[in-house]
Structure 1
């Protein structure tokens, strides 16, 4: 044992070989049979042909662990059985002791794909009942036989389970009653021949695997439609008898935390996994003040189990759960399976295995599913907590949070002021709701998809969010939501948003807190050493920037400046600017916003400490800053000291039929240039201010929604003029980089013309996808699941970058852009930047960095590392 770490390592052991003696003389031929394979250290058993359980048992045999004799049936053999072609039962049983009871367990290629339930005690009959009565006692033998009749009737003969509801296992005639019930229901005697019983079990399990329901279930878990099933036939170690006998499971780590901890249960006079369901009859493994333990009851067996588990961990290079049986004090290992684990446990287990030198760091990185990191970064619903599902939607932003229902941003702010967590419920969010989203614990919307406003802002804030919850009726006037089952939830009722699963839950289930512990930090350090593409964060506020730094982002790849204008004191000034009729009046209003913007940028630069910060100039259409409801219009008229009719006419005049394709982005910057002039000045003055205290800042200024070279020329001329003016006024020189956001197909196609005027291109894949497909990213969620299910699209293109269509435009833009400007820096700053599949595409396309929401940065860093490692190993 290594001092202080609580781990157990194997010590020298006496040989416990089981492959010697006359009982194995007939097994040599059988172990070479590829379809009915007696498991020995050298038998031809593989995960791809016999399944994971069979292969694991062979590994345990190679470790000289006390494994009962086992025969493995290949995928091909089980498929033939399902078609009605039975194997040579004599050959199958030849390596096994003629007097042994048997069990059959499934062995699929991936244990997560499931399989039919195990069947124990095959071979139990009247003759065996008499022999076992003398060995383990009449009562225990009767119960064993009765349970086998019950199991065989339900799982093999497919008889009605209700026929055994009144079966009294303590009655002396329980076996006769069970046999009579079987014969009455099946209209034939219960099979007494062990070979017939075994054949029935094999046939039943094979056909169950190939049935339609089972196939659909495993396909839902990611299994191919033609996934094979192996079966293992193993001699039973009863776990019943007059000495210390029983069964249990043991593992060396906690499945939730991954910390070293001997966990599991043991129950005397039991079989299989009875100990896990045994309640008060089950024993702890280690000494425990809560009750008796195996360590006290059978200390030698307990020590042997710890050694076996430590040896398996070291030699199988994995944390394993042992299923064991004790018979007269001797330990037998029936099975070893990979320990079930939460995401946080998976990280700690992989890191600890690497630190102990059992696996290399690269393998530790590969073992962690990047998206699983979301469970570490956010609170999650406890997997053991009951879930009362109200409705479902799109899982738009991971994590879970509970709170009282509120229906407006103002109510969310009021709730936060009272210290009460709340869930903001909206049909769909818009920029006016950002303050409410900041105040809320979670967000639920009726409309939207993975790149809708609520989804994008939610991910940026680390706010659990479910969008597109169309199964729920939103009654905004009544301030209620109605579940599909008719339950009504009013303002003030507590619900929980599970943004990882896309579910809305009633009440407040138990939660698991976020865990950015030492294991997570170690994994991320190794990931940064391995990856070959940079990862930045999309950050609009100082809080976002701090989160980005905490997650070791390589800078800010997208700062959306318009989000800074929705604070109450700024919104009024912004509206004054919109209502101004002359350039001078607009400049006067913008002069009030200038110091606010300058302060924002200065703080961003200081937080990032010299790291690159890419600031996108103002992008949205102006109508987003204006009220649409009568009350809001009256308030605005009062604030601006204008007649309500004038305000209403002005708001109506700014409305557009398709605002996402209207006067926004660079079009607004050219039409109302005072906005970009103010922003450029704020950036340059903040650059000078922040550079006084540290390294010189080189800001990156990005022009949105470009589609023509002339647009860039016009904006660049004005930005250069502002830079020259600031240099002259302040007497300080500085550098900056100018680039464009490529989010229109034309910009990608004409990249060679545009690039000579730029230092960088940033592909805005959200809008580029929207324009390439002709899809509204806010509305596509209504039909996208149907499209994916029916194979129209392989994946939601707003979730995983469309490599064939949008990807082709991206590659064309990259190639043509670098043809026009060889030193052009390329990036992807849409939400695709955090998708592992999309990062793979970006690496191959020569993209320099990806940028994503701050809470997706660790996911992107790990995904990038895994892709680089896989490339190295081929």
Structure 2
């Protein structure tokens, strides 16, 4: 016996029905909109989420009353209606109500072929989706009298009961099967992977069938009005005579074109009135629904019916194009246009991408550390990458983990693959800055640098010059070359980013260490440089030799002499950045890494360095050993070098101030920002500030030029955040370096955490990799404490985030809420940050209204 619910279990879809996407699903709501627009939609009834949930548990609504909304003998379809169409759902079931009697009637009114086709199709669907029989047994049957008879016989044989001849029972069982399919474990996991909440509901739409079979012009089709790849206005789709639902797309060999085409018949020629009406409906949908819609339609004996209209599936490029077009035509606002594209989707436009249709022979999987696709020869050292580049050959640099010595090779490689590392490893950070696709922590690889081979988990071995491809967006490495899609920057892209910059309310700077990065960031609309890592400027061969000479200096005079050689190089670097940024702020971080990073780690490298410095090999080995540290990232680096070897910071400060004077002569006055890394105590700042102030005074006297500068601190240790009230008294700004701050807060090595981080996230220890998205409960608490304590002493202190989290939309939302002044990120993440900030600001304004 059926059990009836106390609430309204279903609703006829009319212009005034109480239907909403969050109660009845997106399809039901869209159909109601089409009805309001007076499009020829067949009679429709919508079942809300609660009813469908009850059906899954065996509590059915009054099916006879539901059928009462339709004319007797009407065939019906049942379609899923989830809140978001992207969450999927069970397949539609058509022709409900086909019985032996209805089959006979349709044979007389629509012809035997049409009747056989309708009945067989329903038997097949019912057998597979409701009775759970093998689809292969039914698919081979032909739409004929014999085929129908065989299908009915097979159903009876497999189920030991006759095929149901009661339309009410048919409908009840179809709804039950769809409801249970939605609540099954597999379906739940699939939709959760698409972003649906675990308790997402399903609605059902019961609709009168419009039969695209029978006498006269009858058929079905799907029509779109934009190119799904580009977003350009273009009618496409297919129409097939004597068909139902989306048959035209599935059986294109028998379908006709929509627009006149020399290759064959078209709907425009064969049914011109229907074609005109479809175009008119598209214009109505575009202007009233404010969207480009894909219309599913049926023609029954010349009568056009619209079964459904959904947002046209499209690429990111097309989504942006449509949003800009609708806004420029005044159909939607600029704010609404900006809300139509997820910020991270811009990565698809900023980088080469592996063609989604490409066949993939995956040889390794790892962390998708930097988006984009690349193909090239395997190389196993930075030097080999440079040699490839000199020959004009694209290459993929493969390393166990990259080091600063690999910088030049990374610059010329097409992509980077490492066996170790995480989201904030050296390879990941540099690759994002360069806009290179990168995979780190690739599992299952066995790398031999000596033999120059790469062995995969399935035993295949790849050597130098073998071709591989990497997809940094998916974290997959593939054998051979795969097709790549080009990056896409056009006028619409520039317009869209311009709107985002206007809508945003938090500053965006860039992490840039070279003129190329600075120019690119300006093209993307960055407001200045928030982090210039000066150590990246020392890895050219000429500079590396001088740097190593400084490290090996035995006296302060020798060290100063080596730094004197570096001074003009640094001055040239800073002058170029100041001139490119043209008065915009440039924040320069003083030397940060431990000195051993500038020394070779293998014996051959040490031998070459001994020759270059004219020293015994034993002296070089002894010096390298003496600089080695058990935990160098927590050792002699950052401000600790500035305090114990102050000549390094003295040289950099002089280079900054001399560049300031030089650049100010040619353009707007430069106000450099100097940032002290890895501070933990106020006294460290006092010591460094005293020397920098002295250098500034000396340069002013020597050049007879006045200039100002701002000194600040990079907050990377928990103690610096906790003691921010002390530190800020000598600082014009605090910039939180969330890479190291996360590492030190967790007590995790950011280069090694990937070995277990996946398991931790899967088992719910951490909701997300904290090196990927800011840990707002732990690291975020330190940011809030640091900001609050700093502002208690200096209310107008400038606060920012300059770690890799600065380009993460979720992190941006957190620091914006905390009132930080700006974020700084890699050049290719600037557009992503701009859109994320714009969307947050827009949503806040809408909430106030």
Corresponding position of 1:91: 65
Corresponding position of 2:418: 445
CA deviation string 1:600-635 (max 9, x = no partner): 111111111111000000000000000011110110
Q: Does structure 1 residue 157 correspond to structure 2 residue 131?
A: yes
Q: Which of 127, 145, 152 is the matching residue for 2:101?
A: 127
Corresponding position of 1:628: 601
SS of corresponding position for 2:565: helix
Assess, with a 3 A threshold, how the Cα gap between structure 1 residues 378 and 265 changes in structure 2: closer, same or farther. same
Corresponding position of 1:795: 768
Corresponding position of 1:8: none
Corresponding position of 1:394: 367
In the TM superposition, 1:831-870 aligns within 5 A as 831-870=804-843
CA deviation string 1:545-573 (max 9, x = no partner): 11111111000000000001011111111
In the TM superposition, 1:366-377 aligns within 5 A as 366-377=339-350
- Contact 2:238/2:252 (<8 A) preserved: no
- State the 1:33 CA deviation: 7.8
SS of corresponding position for 1:783: helix
- Contact 1:393/1:469 (<8 A) preserved: yes
- State the 1:841 CA deviation: 1.5
Q: Does structure 1 residue 36 correspond to structure 2 residue 10?
A: yes
- State the 1:43 CA deviation: 1.4
Assess, with a 3 A threshold, how the Cα gap between structure 1 residues 778 and 284 changes in structure 2: closer, same or farther. same
Corresponding position of 1:502: 475
Q: Name the stretch that deviates more: 351-360 or 537-546.
A: 351-360
- State the 1:134 CA deviation: 2.6
Q: Does structure 1 residue 722 correspond to structure 2 residue 695?
A: yes
CA deviation string 1:129-161 (max 9, x = no partner): 222223333233223322221221111110122
CA deviation string 1:410-443 (max 9, x = no partner): 1111111111111111111111111111111111
Corresponding position of 1:432: 405
Corresponding position of 2:74: 100
Corresponding position of 1:138: 112
Corresponding position of 1:335: 308
CA deviation string 1:440-499 (max 9, x = no partner): 111111111111111111110000111111133334333333333443333222222111
In the TM superposition, 1:434-833 aligns within 5 A as 434-833=407-806
C-alpha separation in 2, matches of 1:86 and 1:752:
65
Assess, with a 3 A threshold, how the Cα gap between structure 1 residues 425 and 290 changes in structure 2: closer, same or farther. farther
- State the 1:733 CA deviation: 1.8
Assess, with a 3 A threshold, how the Cα gap between structure 1 residues 580 and 290 changes in structure 2: closer, same or farther. farther
- State the 1:685 CA deviation: 1.2
C-alpha separation in 2, matches of 1:484 and 1:314:
54
Question: Unaligned 5+ residue runs, structure 1?
Answer: 1-31
- Contact 1:34/1:44 (<8 A) preserved: no
Corresponding position of 1:317: 290
Assess, with a 3 A threshold, how the Cα gap between structure 1 residues 474 and 860 changes in structure 2: closer, same or farther. same
- State the 1:188 CA deviation: 1.5
SS of corresponding position for 1:402: strand
Q: Which of 61, 79, 82 is the matching residue for 2:35?
A: 61
- State the 1:783 CA deviation: 1.3
- State the 1:71 CA deviation: 1.0
C-alpha separation in 2, matches of 1:741 and 1:249:
57
Corresponding position of 1:75: 49
C-alpha separation in 2, matches of 1:164 and 1:487:
42
C-alpha separation in 2, matches of 1:172 and 1:832:
66
- State the 1:162 CA deviation: 2.9
Corresponding position of 1:5: none
Q: Does structure 1 residue 282 correspond to structure 2 residue 290?
A: no
- State the 1:366 CA deviation: 1.7
CA deviation string 1:477-525 (max 9, x = no partner): 3333333344333322222211111122233332221112222222222
C-alpha separation in 1, matches of 2:274 and 2:517:
55
- Contact 2:232/2:321 (<8 A) preserved: yes
Q: Which of 214, 221, 232 is the matching residue for 1:259?
A: 232
Assess, with a 3 A threshold, how the Cα gap between structure 1 residues 787 and 198 changes in structure 2: closer, same or farther. same
TM-score (normalised: structure 1):
0.94
Count, aligned residues: 842
SS of corresponding position for 1:413: helix
Q: Which runs of 4+ in 1 moved over 4 A?
A: none
Corresponding position of 2:245: 272
- State the 1:163 CA deviation: 1.8
After superposition, the CA RMSD in angstroms is 1.5
SS of corresponding position for 2:666: coil
C-alpha separation in 2, matches of 1:330 and 1:472:
62
Corresponding position of 2:3: none
C-alpha separation in 2, matches of 1:387 and 1:198:
43
In the TM superposition, 1:181-192 aligns within 5 A as 181-192=154-165
SS of corresponding position for 1:532: coil
- Contact 1:389/1:504 (<8 A) preserved: yes
TM-score (normalised: structure 2):
0.97
SS of corresponding position for 2:165: coil
SS of corresponding position for 1:225: coil
C-alpha separation in 2, matches of 1:165 and 1:97:
31
Corresponding position of 2:22: 48
Q: Does structure 1 residue 353 correspond to structure 2 residue 333?
A: no
Q: Which of 144, 167, 170 is the matching residue for 2:141?
A: 167
C-alpha separation in 1, matches of 2:844 and 2:232:
32
SS of corresponding position for 2:442: coil
Q: Name the stretch that deviates more: 355-364 or 562-571.
A: 355-364
C-alpha separation in 2, matches of 1:370 and 1:162:
44
- State the 1:835 CA deviation: 1.2
C-alpha separation in 1, matches of 2:511 and 2:252:
51
- Contact 1:393/1:471 (<8 A) preserved: no
- Contact 1:34/1:45 (<8 A) preserved: no
- Contact 1:739/1:760 (<8 A) preserved: yes
- State the 1:744 CA deviation: 0.8
- State the 1:166 CA deviation: 4.1
- Contact 2:79/2:91 (<8 A) preserved: yes
SS of corresponding position for 1:649: helix
CA deviation string 1:803-860 (max 9, x = no partner): 2211121122112222333332111101111111111111222211110011111111
- Contact 2:515/2:577 (<8 A) preserved: yes
C-alpha separation in 2, matches of 1:473 and 1:293:
57
- Contact 1:391/1:483 (<8 A) preserved: yes
- Contact 2:237/2:258 (<8 A) preserved: yes
Question: Unaligned 5+ residue runs, structure 2?
Answer: 1-5
Assess, with a 3 A threshold, how the Cα gap between structure 1 residues 281 and 482 changes in structure 2: closer, same or farther. farther
Assess, with a 3 A threshold, how the Cα gap between structure 1 residues 87 and 475 changes in structure 2: closer, same or farther. farther
Corresponding position of 1:9: none
SS of corresponding position for 1:188: coil
